[in-house]
Amino acid sequence: TDFCRQHNALMAETLAKAPERLEGLAALPMQDIQAACEELERAVSELGLRGAMIGTDFNQGFACGSLDPLYRKFVDLDVPLFVHASSTNGVANLKDMRLSAHNLSLSLGYAQEEAVAVAQILLGGVFDRHPDIDICVSHGGGTITFLAEKLDQLAVIDTAAGQGVRDHGFAHELQKLWFDTHVKGEIAARALRHYAHPDRLVMG
């Protein structure tokens, strides 16, 4: 929590040098959701940051009800949540040692982290509980567009899937997320444009 407070103060200080050009997102202490709520409130209301960015590596996952107070805080403040794949300590590779060779954390691991986040958010009913939240996932959601048709089929028999997915399908619910367009290659970009809502793609 102390690290995030210092990070966000430095972010605000840096942005103040060029407020007409730069906006910033806060870091949040995701191991303590109450502290994350308080820091988001401070970062937005006092420091002027425009939202927050979190990683994908917290243990409870995105659909856990323990995150609901934080999701409500994003809605109340009317600011976006940006999700970017990250390693456990923000420095080293992902915990899976099979990914240590050939830089596979970067090429495969992070893409899968983003896809898992998207799957948890949609199948776990986050938008059912918080329909007004704005969540943007980095790098086009990783491998999610490659797997979307499969997830669409499996969701039909998933009795634990969120109501939105059960009523409309996984692919339909993908249109509720924002994605940045930082993907590699035209095939990946075309798949992203096929599944994402055209008004919810942002430059990445």
Confidence of residue 152 (pLDDT cuts 50, 70, 90): very high
Residue that has been written with the tokens 């794949």 in this structure: 85
Please report the pLDDT score of residue 89 as a whole number.
60
Please report the pLDDT score of residue 100 as a whole number.
85
Q: Is the dihedral of CA 93, 15, 27, 69 positive or negative?
A: negative
Query: What pLDDT digit, counting tens, does each position of 156-185 carry?
Result: 999 999 999 999 999 999 999 999 999 999
Distance separating alpha carbons of residues 115 and 111, to the nearest angstrom: 6
Confidence of residue 143 (pLDDT cuts 50, 70, 90): very high
Distance separating alpha carbons of residues 161 and 172, to the nearest angstrom: 14
Mean per-residue pLDDT over the chain, rounded: 95
Please report the pLDDT score of residue 31 as a whole number.
92
Neighbours of 66 (CB within 10 A): 11
Please report the pLDDT score of residue 97 as a whole number.
86
